[in-house]
Amino acid sequence: MIRELLNSFEHVPPDILKKKLKDILWEGTPDSKGLALTFDDGPDPEITPLVLDALDEAGARGTFFMIGEQVKRHPVTARMVVERGHLAGSHSMTHCTMFLMRRRDIEREIDDAQKAISDAVGMVPRWFRPPHGIFDFTSADIIRQKGLLLVLWTVLSGDYSDDPPEKIFRTVDPFIRPGTIMVFHDTARGGGLTLPGIIHEIHLRAGSNGLRFIGVDDLSVSGHLDEIDGDE
Look up residue 174 and give its amino acid: P
Burial label, 110 (beta-carbon count in 10 A; 0-12, 13-18, 19+): buried
List the beta strands (DSSP E) in 83-192.
Answer: 87-90, 127-128, 149-150, 155-156, 181-185
Let me know: does 119 contact 110? Beta carbons within 8 Å. Answer: no
Sign of CA dihedral 191, 37, 42, 161: negative
* Rounded Cα gap, residues 137 and 219, in angstroms: 25
3-state secondary structure of 149: strand
- Beta strand pairing status for 87-90 and 181-185? unpaired
Give, in degrees to the nearest 5, the angle at Cα 134 between 128 and 140. 55
Look up residue 93 and give its amino acid: M
Active site annotation includes 40: yes
Active site annotation includes 31: no
Within 10 A of 109 (CB to CB), how many other CB atoms are there?
A: 24
Catalytic residue from among 91, 185, 186, 203: 185
Please enumerate in sequence order all residues whose Cβ is within 8 A of that of 134, keeping only pairs 6 or more positions apart, or say none.
97, 98, 99
Active site residues per annotation: 40, 185
